[in-house]
Amino acid sequence: MRKAAIPLVLAVVIGHKFQLECGGSLDSAKWLLLAVSAILLFCGMVSSAAATYAHQNHNAILILGILWIAQAMYLFGYIMPTHKWTATGYWFPALLASAGFLGVALTVPRISASGLEPHRRS
């Protein structure tokens, strides 16, 4: 639990800094985005650090953690009152998620039909 406390504190502090940067212009939708981005940042930091201790698929866990951190940073920027982020709000998150999960799919070893041993490419 101590190892999860540092990412939790960092996520809360970074979320608070973005809340202060926005001033008093946060409505309920932006508060929800702020909470979701802080949770994504926490999960990304924990899973990126946990990739070191994984016995299998550590690259996939690391890519997933980096994806969550990138999504959190995008959502933090989306909260800021600027129109350039709003224009990318329709296509960039989907592109980011697709690229992240494609990276995970390429790093996970393929399993044969019997499920007992990995499929070997010839």
Contact yes or no for 36/71 (Cβ under 8 A): no
Backbone angles phi, psi at 111, to 5 degrees: -105, 140
Report the chain (122 residues): mean pLDDT per 10 consecutive residues: 81 83 76 89 90 83 91 85 73 87 83 56 54
Contact yes or no for 104/60 (Cβ under 8 A): yes
Predicted local distance difference test score (pLDDT) of residue 117: 57
Please, what sign has the CA dihedral across residues 77, 80, 83, 87? positive
Predicted local distance difference test score (pLDDT) of residue 68: 92
Reported pTM: 0.77
| Strand-pair partners of 118 | 111
Helices 28-50 and 58-79: crossing angle, nearest 10°? 160
